[in-house]
Amino acid sequence: MPFLGQDWRSPGQSWVKTADGWTRFLDEKSGGYVGDISSFCKKDDHNKENLFNSLNYDVAAKKRKKDLLNNKAKIQYFHQEKWIYVHKGSTKERHGYCTLGEAFNRLDFSSAILDSRRFNYVVRLLELIAKSQLTSLSGIAQKNYMNILEKVVQKVLEDQQNIRLIRELLQTLYTSLCTLVQRVGKSVLVGNINMWVHRMESILHWQQQLNNIQITRPAFKGTTFTDLPLCLQLNIMQRLSDGRDLVSLGQVAPDLQVLSEDRLLWKKLCQYHFTDRQIRKRLILSDKGHLDWKKMYFKLIRCYPRKEQYGDTLQLCRHCHILSWKGTDHPCTANNPETCSTSLSPQDFINLFRF
């Protein structure tokens, strides 16, 4: 039946499905002939109906063509070149054609984690999404997020590097999911609740695997770090940007413990991450009346964000608004493409899609 819920036929009429669609016929008992359409449909009305349908088809075809052109104009992505076009129009157009989840899917983060220069950048991006942007991702983007996270964990388990970094990421994600799962029924997560419970179990399993890692001392009989002159050891320590790494390094040997307490070392670390104004607000004096730069550092990181540094970042071309990894060329039409590129931190990347 062409009409659902009610029978709109007059007495003596029946509907038959033909190659052109559903057609109404008169039964023989009502005085008509089966298949005689002209017995109940006037020619003029038939022509008006065909004209009306033709106009509707033209309007629909034009609308589909316009939408297709808009899609091509607002988003361009080439898998081989690894770049994506970010539309800079109105909020409605940006939201309709280029969301965070869409950009997250199209930029090749799975390959980026294999590059040591981009690894920390991707991990930081995953952490920021886990904190506040997880519900803004589509179902496909959330699935892609978990797949990338699994690859990150597997890489850390194989290389036995960046263990603490991934532990913090997993803990942040698990805490966020615990909060979101409690709000089930409010459309905050895409998919069945059992699927998310299974993903949370996977996170706990990954955390257990990271906790069970036992780093073995390599069988190397050459020069070690402690064999270097003290000036070189101190020079290497000054290149560590995380104070927790300094503390861990100082626990290796008594000589390194002394070097890791160097006041100048912690002073440079504080000045690298924080401004003079922030430092003046968190001054701590030692028993001897000197500034305790080590205690000040750990107090400052609880109050202010640390300076982020990455070997490679995403670049935004201000001329054509194309996102790409540093060192990846795109067909820019500017006279000086090099001057149009701006490095984006992970937070800057997320801010591009805030509406």
Task: Kindly report, residue by residue over 207-231, the tens digit of the pLDDT.
Answer: 999 999 887 776 767 778 888 888 8
Q: What does the alpha-carbon distance between residue 340 and residue 321 come to, in Å, rounded to a whole number?
A: 9
Predicted structure pTM score: 0.67
pLDDT higher than 60, residue 39: no
Residues 161 and 125 sit within 8 Å (Cβ to Cβ): no
pLDDT higher than 70, residue 46: no
pLDDT at 29: 46
Instruction: With cut-offs at 50, 70 and 90, classify the pLDDT of residue 187.
Output: low
> Stretch 159-163: mean pLDDT, rounded?
88
pLDDT at 210: 92
Name the residue with higher pLDDT: 264 or 31: 264
> Stretch 105-113: mean pLDDT, rounded?
79
Q: What does the alpha-carbon distance between residue 66 and residue 177 come to, in Å, rounded to a whole number?
A: 40
pLDDT higher than 70, residue 245: yes
Q: What is the DSSP letter of 14?
A: E
Q: What does the alpha-carbon distance between residue 285 and residue 304 come to, in Å, rounded to a whole number?
A: 20
pLDDT at 151: 92
Q: What is the DSSP letter of 308?
A: P
Among the listed residues 150, 123, 120, 146, the one whose alpha carbon sits nearest the alpha carbon of residue 134? 146
Q: What does the alpha-carbon distance between residue 353 and residue 192 come to, in Å, rounded to a whole number?
A: 26
pLDDT higher than 80, residue 78: no
> Stretch 244-264: mean pLDDT, rounded?
88
Cα atoms in the Cβ-side hemisphere of radius 13 Å centred on 253: 8
pLDDT tens-digit series, residues 283-333: 888 888 888 999 999 999 999 888 888 888 888 888 777 787 877 766 777
pLDDT at 3: 47
